[in-house]
Amino acid sequence: MKTLLIAAFIVIAYLLIWSLCRMAARADRGIGRIVSTFPYTWYWRRRHPERKGQPCRVVCRGALNSIMVEFPDGFRTITSRWAVRKRG
């Protein structure tokens, strides 16, 4: 049972790392939908609390509910899709 949990954890970690590397490569090559405006707002206070309420855009989407977010000053971070909200 313990080895099965360890194996599952290794597989999930591998998929997450693979997904994030793929996302970064796609973002660097400019593949995907390019948005010139910032249609989202950073919602979370837990990660990057100083960015709460700032406009941002989704550069690319990955597996396991992950996205790469870019702010107007060029700062990029990889986070959950729940961290951003549509501006409106």
pLDDT bin (cut points 50, 70, 90) of residue 33 is: low
pLDDT over 90 (residue 40): yes
**Predicted model pTM:** 0.62
What residues have CB less than 8 Å from 65, skipping those under 6 apart?
A: 80, 81, 82
According to CATH, the topology of domain 2-86 is SH3 type barrels. (2.30.30)
Q: Are 56 and 41 in contact (CB under 8 A)?
A: yes
Domain boundaries, the chain: 2-86
Instruction: Inform me whether the pLDDT recorded for 32 exceeds 60.
Output: no
Model confidence pLDDT, tens digit, residues 12-29: 766 766 676 676 666 655
